[in-house]
Structure 1
């Protein structure tokens, strides 16, 4: 028993290993209704956490081989724990009436409080626990700085949990990130690709990271069935994550894959999405070994049928296998991901004719534009990672991954011609292959110099990406927004496609950062820099003739500070840069072939974070300056700049018993501060609405045990479609509602969920930062039933 107690203390004080579960019901200081079957002790403790909403921390080793009796009825969490732990040789440590640790009986003197789990953070190892309400986590992965509590991070970051994914019945990132007021989808929901706007700048789906590594997630649309967390860091982050392949600077999105938990999981879900998409999902997890060192987690999902868009069909397949090993000092993992998506009559984004003088009225969102087309995309990923604790203060890690993406699409972008809604589109057949190799290595070192604590982080990253393409065009077709002409997709019979090299890119970087802690950790200062090298070889489209090679480098720094004058209050500031590949002057300009250095985007940000215990608020003020290159008087140069200034408010957690809130508001002013020849200088930037706001509320109906109700409102302000600010689309507001019911059928827990997105079937124009337009998704019904076996 002494060895067990020593291991427990060492693990808890190092990384707070264990399971902290927040159910959808707020833990109460008084009695709660409980119904827990006889089962292994670890499973019983998890069931108690789910049913009561209490936070219960324990190391799995101390419960191995122990059983718990059945308990049923109304009692306090403390009383329930006493019954479960009777004759187990374990006891309870309580930090408050909602937070408990289960420890060996001789671990510490009676009456000693448990370590303050609400402030757990670690550079490696277990994920930060869920915050009250379970929709977001207490922290997330801040790139090379590792997992960090949100109160200790000098950036604005939100980490969404698998609970949020499940309760919203999210099918991809766009369904989940609608919760964030600083994030908007910038492409149609059933388009080929799914891109985002963060703080007014585009973030492409191809740049979503997997465990901090770029070039590995599905290229055009990212699934969430295999995600344990989805972490969104706002603003450029070249130092933290390295440069993404397309050079996005609006923010970083990172997906953390699921791992097997200590307790067995077999979860089956049947689901339905309107118009008539049916499917299912399985989630199976097991751990093996004397100390449950080996883990296996499988997630699979299949959906097929007609969407809410007229005459559109969609088939989705997602399969993810996660293997992991966790030893005393060594941790390894292997992830295999397969995604295939087929869409018949895929919708496309609209371009605007230069002669258009006003925006046409938004059409019916149920209709299909352009009314023909198809897309087939397939992604295959394999990633291996390992980390090793050389000492208690030194951890080294590494990862290698491979992604293969292929697309076979025949579609056309419609071009709006007049206010009567007439448009034309030219079908194009495109075969597109992307091959990625991604590598990462680094170390985290903790040491002290006098009274100053250091967390030193070293990181190396490399992404090699090769793109091949084939494209051929067909005759354009005419149609109308209000009376669309549905036509057959052109036949490709008899064509002999040959994919040719398009772009080869290699991104290599080295980074060093140090977080210094002063004054008993009340002041934290992060300093660092990353040297990024960008190599690129372009090939002439249609011929494959190589152009002039590109080899440039740049150094991007970061300075971040967090001051915590009192518990629950953090003041922070940062200066950080983003990096985008430098442009090459195109053929036809007087300086054709000239290669420019990588663009540096600069962000200045200050903010405050308040953790009220069960509810948190953050306020951020930021300015982002991004250069741009255009042609003026037939000379191509870096001659423009867009500056986005804004204020963000984020809220999350339990605002009252049984009531959870998530959302906030963002005010962003996007300006063209420099432009070639002064043309459009001072105008508002394209697709940067001044106001965006979200508010989601989730309520456990205390009058009907097991029933939960939720609602969400999403507002996006008016925005310009062109740099001249002649074309503007109006603001829009969308309402969503939902319900869930948790019960038991026989001995099996069952959860029924029903959601309606865009409940009033609002028709609205939305826009992308590139000036494309798309029609918002129509009213969509989602139903599911989940059973745990």
Structure 2
């Protein structure tokens, strides 16, 4: 809180309000006015930075303006308008960053990045108001980022030093009674703006929708220095301390008797929230790098990052037993920590061989991950209850956790790519990444357990055709490898480390950006080695899970005040090739998802914008046996914003109503796990730019 006060004081000293200036209303264009902007730059890992239009992949980018309009409390809210994304997240809980993309869960160990740097996402809800945009690269990404699930990669782009000064303070309120204060300060100084800085500070505290509590503090700093015309140094740091209590529990269904779940309880039903639960996370990431222009066409970059993610969680899991809603309540009480170190160096540039032009990227990377777990974790039944009658149970953390090094994972990689310009319209992208993956495991005593080593080469190949400057047609092939699961406590082979899973992806697509409209479409097929719980309650790998479908996204401006955007995904998934569940739909993969958004600038009140959106998620299978199907549902959201200039200060007032109809439904979280959907939340904020 003290850092926020200092920032507010600095702003107050720099601003000299003119008391004679009368309130004045003005309309300001923003990134939020273009829901599908294909010319925005995105991070594509080893392929570098490029616009969405110029990449042979499906990519979503949610801007800072759109984040401010939606006021998300979990990652599912961030991508609420993307039909390829199914929300598996729950506000203020360990599950708040869980997503399914194209029917595939993202990899919480390798599927999340900040400015391209890896971090462990499990139970971490990042401060969304500290980011310039949040990107989702859909599908396999083996060449671009190394090991990871073929669902995709989420990349958080931090706010960086800006050419024009940034001076803003925001105050927000979210139901039940959460108050948030956020400050943003940035700019440049020195000869010719040699040095740049950006500081963001957030404090949030109060009661959540189910009478739990939240207390979080976040600080991020970004610095750069243009040391010479050819040499630039950058530094970034993000720290967040967050504690939540009274989380809505997850519901485990593997021992459930029946083919249909009981009636849904409301997500703000605190009767099923047993006493003593908490989730405390302590996260930080620090990164530094240099970029040196060797020649006008060639640049050398090198960066180093280090992140830590520590969590202590006392979390309830309800083992549902029958259709009456009876459950046995188990409590997981543990501490965990993760350390990520990555160094990467790349050389990229242009060259010509005869009539052919090349854009070349060559690089190497070293990544080390250390996982720490508590040797004396508690996992036990604490009582029983029912969804109608509630819990009444309580378990408080009394354990002084003793941490031990559970595993170390090292990835060494070299990679190279060439974007070959054949003609002004045709180009080919080819890339190879060779990775040496080593995993060492240890017992709580320190004794080394059997490890794992894998050397693999993952290729990517794409053909692009640009009939004009605003349209790209493409076909791409990507392979990927992801770490196998460490078997959890609910399986009879708990503690076993499964081998890596291989995936292949083929995608054909089209993108176009026009003056008043834009659109994308993609056909894809992903083959992934299948992993599921068998009839003997063993987590096994057997056969393939196959996902093939189509995605369509578009946006259009209808005259001055109206903007309409939408997306849809039709997905066919199945287990194949000798799998014990051959022919069944893959767990967690809906057949159809559609989303739409309507935005209206009110002519009678300049500066006022109204928005409404809705998303339909089709029925989903809860497990590989297809014994239980979760029904489809529609979630609608409403919003409004008003921009004005008042007493010499730009002011933006916003309100966002998520799940406006307070829709109740069972949300798929993971195979055999569900939770009641988050209830309606109302968020309001006031932002002042000085």
Q: TM-score, normalised by structure 1?
A: 0.79
Match of 2:450? 548
1:134 shift after superposition: 6.5
Give the structure 2 partner of residue 476 of structure 1: 382
What is the correspondence of 1:570-589 to structure 2 with a 5 Å cutoff? Answer: 570-581=472-483
The SS at the match of 1:164 is helix
Q: Distance in 2 between matches of 1:163 and 1:585?
A: 40
- Out of 413, 421, 434, the residue aligned to residue 531 of structure 1 is 434
Shift of 1:346: 1.8
Task: Between 594-603 and 357-366, report the one with greater CA deviation.
Answer: 594-603
Q: Taking structure 1 as reference, are residues 161 and 527 closer, same or farther at Cα in structure 2, changes over 3 Å only?
A: same
* Residue aligning to 2:553: 650
Relative to 1, partners in 2 of residues 1:576 and 1:272: Cα closer, same or farther, differing over 3 Å? Answer: same
Select which of 427, 444, 451 maps to 2:355: 451
- Residue 323 of structure 1 pairs with residue 223 of structure 2: yes
Residue 629 (structure 1) shift: 5.0
Q: Are 2:49 and 1:147 equivalent residues in the alignment? A: yes
Is 2:89 the partner of 1:183? Answer: no
SS in 2 for 1:350: strand
Go from structure 1 to structure 2 and tell me whether the alpha carbon gap of 1:681 and 1:300 turns closer, same or farther (over 3 Å shift). same
Asked if the contact 2:303/2:343 (under 8 Å) is kept, the reply is: yes
- 1:564 matched to 2:466? The reply is yes
Larger Rg: 1
1:84-136 superposed Cα distances (whole Å, 9 cap, x missing partner): xxxxxxxxxxxxxxxxxxxxxxxxxxxxxxxxxxxxxxxxxxxxxx6962774
- The alignment partner of 1:413 has SS state of strand
Count residues with an aligned counterpart. Answer: 658
Is the CA contact 2:178–2:208 (under 8 Å) kept in the aligned structure 1? Answer: yes
Match of 2:576 among 647, 663, 673: 673
Q: SS in structure 1 opposite 2:250?
A: coil
The 5 Å alignment of 1:388-403 reads 388-403=292-307
Shift of 1:361: 1.4
Match of 1:248 among 149, 158, 171: 149
Distance 2:684 2:141 in 1: 38
Check whether the contact 1:601–1:624 (CA below 8 A) recurs between aligned residues: yes
**Which residues in structure 2 correspond to 1:114-133 (within 5 Å)?**
133=34
2:65 is aligned, of 154, 163, 166, to 163
Tell me how far apart the structure 1 counterparts of residues 448 and 56 of structure 2 sit (CA, whole Å). 43
Q: Secondary structure at the match of 1:768?
A: strand
SS at match of 1:426: strand
Shift of 1:351: 1.0
CA RMSD of aligned residues (A): 2.9
In 2, Cα distance between the equivalents of 1:651 and 1:187?
A: 26
| 1:562 alignment partner, SS class | strand
Aligned equivalents of 1:631, 1:730: Cα separation in 2:
22
SS at match of 1:359: coil
Q: Is the 8 A contact 1:370 1:414 kept in 2?
A: no
Shift of 1:703: 1.5
Deviation at 1:190, TM superposition (A): 2.4
Distance 1:706 1:555, change over 3 A: same
Mean CA deviation greater in 646-655 or 503-512: 646-655
Contact in 1 for aligned 2:83/2:593 (Cα 8 Å) = yes
* Cα deviation, residue 770, structure 1: 2.9
Q: Does 1:195 align with 2:95?
A: no
Give the alignment of 1:250-649 within 5 angstroms: 250-309=151-210, 311-326=211-226, 327-357=228-258, 358-368=260-270, 369-372=272-275, 373-470=277-374, 471-492=377-398, 495-520=399-424, 522-540=425-443, 543-581=445-483, 598-628=500-530, 638-649=541-552
Name stretches of at least 5 consecutive residues in structure 1 with no aligned partner.
1-37, 40-46, 55-129
Measure how far apart 1:353 and its partner are.
3.2
Cα 1:453–1:408 change in 2 (3 A) is: same
Deviations, residues 122-174 of structure 1 (Å, cap 9, x unaligned): xxxxxxxx696277462312212222122221111122211111122234533
CA distance in 2, matches of 1:359, 1:274: 29
Aligned-partner Cα distance in 2 for 1:301–1:636: 41
1:754 aligns with 655
> Quick one: distance in 1 between partners of 2:264 and 2:487?
37
Cα 1:631–1:255 shift into 2, 3 Å = closer
Corresponding residue for 1:660? 563
- Listed as ranges, the gaps of 5+ residues in structure 2 are 1-15, 18-23
Q: CA 1:473 to 1:152, structure 2 compared with 1: closer, same or farther past 3 Å?
A: closer
- 1:151 aligned counterpart, secondary structure: helix
On the 8 A contact 2:64/2:133 being kept in 1, the answer is yes
Query: How many angstroms apart in 1 are the aligned matches of 2:442 and 2:120?
Result: 24
How much has 1:335 moved relative to structure 2?
0.8
The answer to whether residue 671 in structure 2 is matched with residue 770 in structure 1 is: yes
User: Aligned residue for 1:18?
Assistant: none
Cα distance in 2, alignment partners of residues 150 and 765 from structure 1: 34
* Partner-residue secondary structure (3-state), 2:60: strand
Distance 2:338 2:285 in 1: 12
- 8 Å CA contact retained: 1:382, 1:403: yes
Q: Which residue of 1 aligns with 2:597?
A: 696
SS at match of 1:166: helix
Deviation at 1:241, TM superposition (A): 1.6
CA contact (8 A) 1:376 1:409 kept: yes
Give the Cα separation in 2 of the matches to 1:544 and 1:173: 36
SS of the equivalent of 1:651 reads strand
Cα distance change of structure 1 residues 769 and 223 upon mapping to structure 2, 3 Å threshold: same
Q: 1:487 to 1:187 in 2, by over 3 A?
A: same
Is the 1:188–1:776 contact (alpha carbons within 8 Å) kept by the matching residues of 2? yes
Conservation of the 8 A alpha-carbon contact between 2:93 and 2:123: no
Greater CA deviation, 703-712 or 638-647?
638-647
Tell me by how many angstroms 1:439 deviates.
1.3
Q: How does 1:92-111 map to 2 (within 5 A)?
A: none
Q: Structure 1 pair 52/274, CA: closer, same or farther in 2 (3 Å)?
A: closer
**2:448 aligns to what SS in structure 1?**
coil
- How high is the TM-score relative to the length of structure 2? 0.90
Match of 2:244, SS? strand
Equivalent-residue separation in structure 1 for 2:635 and 2:35 (angstroms) = 24
The CA distance in 1 between the partners of 2:53 and 2:214, in whole Å, is: 42
The SS at the match of 2:223 is: strand
CA shift for structure 1 position 482: 2.0
Quick one: distance in 1 between partners of 2:314 and 2:553? 41
The CA deviation at 1:496 is 3.9
Shift of 1:660: 2.8
C-alpha deviations, 1:625-679, integer Å up to 9, x for none?
0013579899997532100111001124635423333430111111111344xx2
1: distance between equivalents of 2:613 and 2:535?
Answer: 49
1:495-521 per-residue CA deviation (whole Å, 9 max, x = no partner) reads 44311221211122111110011222x
Distance 1:356 1:482, change over 3 A: same
Q: Is the contact made by 2:413 and 2:436 (CA closer than 8 Å) also made in structure 1? A: yes
In 2, are the aligned partners of 1:136 and 1:161 still within 8 Å (CA)? no
